[in-house]
Structure 1
Amino acid sequence: MTVVATRTETVLDVRDLRIGLADTPIVHGVDIRVPAGKSVGLVGESGSGKTLTALAIAGLLPPAITITGGTVTLAGKQLSAVADRHTTEHRVATIGVVFQNPTPSLNPRMRISKQLHEALPQGTGRREAAARIAELLGLVGITDIPKTLHAFPHELSGGLNQRVVIAMALARDPKLLIADEPTTALDVSVQAQVLDLVDSLRERLGLGVLLVSHDIGIIADRTDEVHVMSEGRIVESGPTADVLRAPRHAYTRQLLSATPSRLARVAPPAKAAEAAQTPQLTLRDLRRSFSVRGREGRTKHVALDGVDLTLHRGQAIGLVGESGSGKTTLARIVVGLERADSGEVRHDGLELSKQTREQRRQWRRDVQYIFQDPYSSLDPRLSVAQTLREPLELNHRGLSRAEVSRRIDALLDEVELPRDFRHRHPSELSGGQRQRVGIARALASEPTLVIADEPVSALDLSVQARILRLLARLRAERDLTYLFISHDLAVVRYLCDDVVVLRDGRIVEQGRTDDVLRNPRDPYTQTLVDAIPGGSL
C-alpha cells in the first residue's frame, strides 16, 4: 500500500464555506483545515449543518442545495463550486467517504466482491483487482476473505459491513477520509473496533480524517482538533483537549453536560425500596433458539441459553450486551411477541401459560414496550391523537370521547409535549418528539412494568439526556418498574439500580450498577466498560 500523504501537507482547506437552499442560507462561513495524518472533528446536533458541510466537501450535495460562497481546496487544488469533470475526478481520486449506516451504503443485491471491484479505478485488470481487493480487506482487518467476498451484505454483521465500506473508501488511495457518523448504528465495542481501525489507517497511510459526529465523547477520544457547529455556524474551534477542558461557548458546554457520564446519578424512588422484596417478573431457565440458513445449509442459533432473572416491583434493571447477545429476544418473550422453547416466565407470581383470559388481558396492560427507533415505531398515517387514542379505547372501555380527549392532553403534558401536537403526524416531529409520543403511548395503558429497548440510541446527546431525565421522572411519579435494554453502560449507569450483562444468550455478570462498572469481574464486561466513549470527559 502506498503512503499517500506526508505529515506536513494540508489535505483539506475550507475557507468561508456557505451553503444555501434557493435564497435561504443554511451554512454560514465555515472554516476547516485538515492536515495529513491528523483527525479533525466536526461535532453538533442533528440540523446543525455538519453533514451538509461534509457532503459539500465531497461534492455530494442534493441537487436543490448549492455552495453559494467560499472555497474548498483539496490536496492543493481549489475546487470549483459548480461540479465539472476535472473537479469530480479530483474528488474521486482524493476523498474516501464512510457514511453513518453501512446497510444503505451497500447494494443488497450484489455480493461484496462485485461491490469492491466497482470501487476500484476503471480499467483495473482482473488479476490486479483480485490482489487489490484482498489487500484492502486485509487492511481493514477482515481475515476470512473468501467467505466475505462471496457474501451479500445481509449475511454480514454491521461491524463487518462497515469494514467493507471503509475498504471501498480506500480503494483509490485517498488523501482525505470523511467519516460521517461512522459508528452510530453499531454496538459500543464494535464502535470502538471501527474507530480503532480508522485511527490505525490514519497513522499507517498518512490520511487526513474529518470525523463528523453528534457524540462529543467520540470526538474527545478520537480527534486532535475539533470544530463545534450549531445552526450552520462553527461556534468554537481549537485543539480538542483545550476546547473540552475549558469550553468558551455555551453550546459546547451544553453538549458536554449532556454526555451520560456527566448526568447526575438518579436515586431510586422511595417506593422502590419499600417494594424491593416483591418479585414482579421472574424468568427461570429461559431458552430460545432459531434456525438460520447459511452457505452450509440450516444451522441452529441459540439466542437464550438458560437465563434466570428476577425483577422486583419498582426496580430498574439494565440489560446490556452487543447485538446478538439475546437481550431483545428476552424482551420480546416477556411481552409475548416471542415464545420460549422452554423455561418459565412469571408475572406477579403467575406463570404466563397458566393465565386466564382476563389475567392475560391485565398482563398486556401492565407490561408495555418502548421501541428503539422512534421513526419506524409510529404509524405514519396516524396523528398523535389517533396514536394515543387507540390504547386508551382498547384498555379503558367505556370512556366518553371527552374523557379520552382529556387523557390525551394529560399524556402529552406528562411527556412534556405541547397539547397542539395532538394534530401532528410523525413526519412533522423530530426524533426526540417521536420518542416522547412512543413513551406516551406506552403510558396510556397505565402499566406497572415498562420494557425500554434501546430507547435513546438513535438520538442526539442533548435529546438523549432529556429523554433519560423524563424516564427517571416517570419512574418516580408512576412507581414504574423498568427493564432497560442497552449496549451503552454509561446510559444504564444513569437510570438503573442494577445491571445484567448478557453475552451469547447467557448472563455473564450481574449486580449493583456502580459495583459492576467500577469492578467488573468478567472480561467481556470489562471490554464494554473500556469501550464507553469519552472516558476522559
Structure 2
Amino acid sequence: MSTDTSTALTERTAPGTAAPTLVVRDLVVGLRPQRHEPPDALPLVRGVDLTVRPGQSVGLVGESGSGKTLTALAVAGLLPAAVHVQGGTVDVAGREVLGLPEREARAHLSGHLGVVFQNPTPSLNPRLRIRTQLRDALPAGTARRDAADRAAELVRLVGIDDVDKTLAAFPHELSGGLNQRVVIAIALARSPQLLIADEPTTALDVSVQAQVLDLIDDLRARLGLGVLLVSHDIGVIADRTEHVHVMSGGVVVESGPTHDVLADPQHEYTRRLLAAVPSRLTRTPVAVAADESPQLVVRDLRRSFAVRGPGGRVRHAALDGVDLTVARGQALGIVGESGSGKTTLARIVTGLETADHGSVEFEGTDLRAQNRGQRRDWRRHVQYVFQDPYASLDPRLTVAQTLREPLELNHVDLPRGGVDRRVDELLDEVELPRAFRHRRPDELSGGQRQRVGIARALASEPTLVVADEPVSALDLSVQARILALLARLRAERGLTYLFISHDLGVVRFLCDDVVVLRHGRVVERGRTEAVLEDPQHPYTRALVDAVPGRAFA
C-alpha cells in the first residue's frame, strides 16, 4: 500500500483545532419551476445554518417532511432532479461547492464527503461481491493490488473480523448490521473529512444499532471525521451528538448543545417530539380477566431452515422449543434481535408457516385438528398487522377495496349495503376520514397506511391480533398516535395482542408481559416492568443497556 493511502487512515487534527469541515449558511431548497407551479411556491427548506467541525457530531432531528434529509442531500449534491438549491452557501472542506461546475463540484465532494443511507440493502448492488463494490468506490486509477489491499483495510477499519469471507460475499449473504458496516466502509473509501449518516440505524435491532453507532463514534475519534447525523430518534441524537438542530416545516426551529436543547426545550415542536418518545408516553392499564382460560397456547415449537454454511447447506434452528401461553385480553411482547425467531413464531401462529414440531392451540383446539369450518373461523379470529405499511398494501386497490377484501374472503355476514357501512365504520375506528375510502396507498402517508393495515386486520372482527414491528418505520409522533390507537382498540374490543418489536420502549408502553427470544429459545419472561427494570438474563441486560438515550429518557 502506498504511503499516502496508509496515512489517510491515521488520526487527523484534534477536534476544535482545525477549520470547520462543513459550513452551511442560509440554505434554501425548492422545487424546480414547472408550468403548473406558482412562481412564489414556498421553498421546501429555507434559512438553514449549520456548522460541523472535525471530530464533532452534529444532529439534524425532525419528522418526515421536516426537511432534514433534503438538507443533507443538498450538502452532498444528491438532490433529486425535481429539486434544486435556490440560495445560500455550502462550504465543504474549505471550499464553496454551490457555484462550481457540476463535474468539479462532484469531484470535490466525492473526495471529501461520504454518505451512509438508512437502509443498507438498496445501498449495495445485489449482483456484485463486496470486494468489487469497495474497489469501485476507490479513486479512479488505483492500482489493482493497492485496491485489493485498501478494500481489506477498509473492512478491518469498520470492525469486521472475517475479512476474506466478507470480501467474497454478496450482500444477501450478510446480516443487516454487516451490510451497514460495508456501506460505511464504502463511504470512507476516499478518506473523507465529513460523514453524513442519514438514519443509519433505523432498520437495525437495538444491539446492532448500538454497534454501528459505536463504530461511527470510534471512527470520528480516530480519524477526526466530522459527522452530520440525521435521525428522527431522539434517543440516538441524545447519545451520539454534541450539537443538535431541530427541523420542522423546512426550517430550523431550535438549535444548540444537545443536552441543553433536550433538557430544556424552548420551542413547542421540540417539546411535542420529546413527549412522543415511547418511554414518556402515559400508559393506561388494561385489566385482563384472571379466570379466563388461555386463548393461545404454544408448546415446544420448533422450526428450522436450510442455509448455506462453510461446508455446504446446514439446518438453522429458527425456533428451538418455544412455549407460550397468552390469556384473552393480554398484550404479550416478543423481543429479541434479528434471527431470534420472533417473526417465525408470528408466522406460525397465524398459519403463514408450518412448524416442524410442537403444537399451536387456539381457543382450546389444536390447529392441526381443526376441520374446515373451525379453520375458517380461526382465520377470521386471528389477524396480522405487518411491519412495512408501504409493502403490505396492494398499490392497485383503493382503501375501500382493501377493507372490503377480508369481509368478502371471510364471508362476513352483513345486510344489504352493509359492506360500505362497515368500511366507513372501520375508517372511523382507526381515525381516518371517510373520504379516504377512494384513495390508493401512494396517496397516503406512512402513518395513514398503517392505520389502513390495522383497519384491514379489524375487518373480520378478530380476537387475536399479531403485530410484527408495526411502528418501527414511523416517526415518533406518528408512532405515538398508532400506539395510542392500538391501546384504545384493545380496551374497546377486548383484543389480545401478540406484539413483536425490537423497541423496548414501545413494548413497555403497550404490553403487560414480555418474552425475550434468543437463537430461537426463550431466555426470560415475566411482567414487562419487572423484566426491563431488573433483567435476570445477560442477554436481556445487554438489550436493555443498548437502548439509546436511556439517561435522557
Does the pair score TM above 0.5? yes
Tell me which of 33, 52, 75 is aligned to 1:34: 52
- In 1, distance between residues paired with 2:387 and 2:550? 25
- In 1, distance between residues paired with 2:242 and 2:412? 60
CA displacement 1:5-42 (0-9 Å, x = unmatched):
44222100000000110243111110010011110000
**In the alignment, which residue of structure 1 is the partner of 2:293?**
278
Query: Is the Cα–Cα contact under 8 Å of residues 248 and 269 in structure 2 kept in the other structure?
Result: yes
**In the alignment, which residue of structure 1 is the partner of 2:22?**
12
Query: Is the Cα–Cα contact under 8 Å of residues 72 and 79 in structure 1 kept in the other structure?
Result: yes
Q: TM-score, normalised by structure 2?
A: 0.95
Tell me which of 151, 154, 159 is aligned to 2:172: 154
Secondary structure of 2:304's counterpart equals strand
- In 1, distance between residues paired with 2:379 and 2:100? 58
**In the alignment, which residue of structure 1 is the partner of 2:5?**
none
Ranges in structure 2 where 5+ consecutive residues have no aligned partner: 1-8, 34-40
Secondary structure of 1:309's counterpart equals strand
Superposed, which structure 2 residues align to 1:48-447 within 5 Å? 48-81=66-99, 83-268=101-286, 270=287, 272=288, 274-275=289-290, 277-294=292-309, 296-447=311-462
1:455 aligns with 2:470: yes
- In 2, distance between residues paired with 1:523 and 1:279? 30
Q: TM-score, normalised by structure 1?
A: 0.98
- In 2, distance between residues paired with 1:190 and 1:401? 53
Query: Is the Cα–Cα contact under 8 Å of residues 391 and 441 in structure 1 kept in the other structure?
Result: yes
Secondary structure of 1:96's counterpart equals strand
> How far 1:216 moved relative to its partner?
1.1
Amino acid at match of 2:528: T
CA displacement 1:414-462 (0-9 Å, x = unmatched):
0000000000000000000000000000000101100000000000011
- In 2, distance between residues paired with 1:153 and 1:5? 35
Query: Is the Cα–Cα contact under 8 Å of residues 152 and 167 in structure 2 kept in the other structure?
Result: no
Tell me which of 62, 67, 75 is aligned to 1:44: 62
Secondary structure of 2:134's counterpart equals helix
CA displacement 1:116-147 (0-9 Å, x = unmatched):
00111111112222222221111110000010
CA displacement 1:259-278 (0-9 Å, x = unmatched):
1110112312x3x2x25542
- In 2, distance between residues paired with 1:11 and 1:296? 48
1:21 aligns with 2:31: yes
Secondary structure of 1:405's counterpart equals helix
> How far 1:114 moved relative to its partner?
0.4
- In 2, distance between residues paired with 1:144 and 1:276? 54
Alignment root-mean-square deviation, CA: 1.2
Amino acid at match of 1:97: V
**In the alignment, which residue of structure 2 is the partner of 1:504?**
519
- In 2, distance between residues paired with 1:486 and 1:190? 14
> How far 1:394 moved relative to its partner?
2.7
Amino acid at match of 2:340: S
- In 2, distance between residues paired with 1:196 and 1:265? 32
Amino acid at match of 2:26: D
CA displacement 1:89-114 (0-9 Å, x = unmatched):
11111101001100011000000000
Query: Is the Cα–Cα contact under 8 Å of residues 2 and 173 in structure 1 kept in the other structure?
Result: no
- In 1, distance between residues paired with 2:240 and 2:291? 42
CA displacement 1:475-532 (0-9 Å, x = unmatched):
0000000000001111100000000000000000000000001110111101111111
**In the alignment, which residue of structure 1 is the partner of 2:6?**
none
Tell me which of 7, 10, 31 is aligned to 1:2: 10
Secondary structure of 1:16's counterpart equals strand
Query: Is the Cα–Cα contact under 8 Å of residues 412 and 460 in structure 2 kept in the other structure?
Result: no
Q: Percent identity?
A: 71
- In 2, distance between residues paired with 1:398 and 1:364? 15
- In 2, distance between residues paired with 1:421 and 1:56? 34
**In the alignment, which residue of structure 1 is the partner of 2:3?**
none
Amino acid at match of 1:15: R
Query: Is the Cα–Cα contact under 8 Å of residues 4 and 173 in structure 1 kept in the other structure?
Result: no
> How far 1:398 moved relative to its partner?
4.5
- In 2, distance between residues paired with 1:6 and 1:345? 60
- In 2, distance between residues paired with 1:419 and 1:5? 59
Amino acid at match of 1:84: E
Aligned residues: 534
Query: Is the Cα–Cα contact under 8 Å of residues 67 and 81 in structure 1 kept in the other structure?
Result: no
Query: Is the Cα–Cα contact under 8 Å of residues 10 and 222 in structure 2 kept in the other structure?
Result: no
- In 2, distance between residues paired with 1:276 and 1:237? 54
Query: Is the Cα–Cα contact under 8 Å of residues 28 and 87 in structure 2 kept in the other structure?
Result: yes
> How far 1:396 moved relative to its partner?
4.0
Secondary structure of 1:319's counterpart equals strand
Amino acid at match of 1:403: G
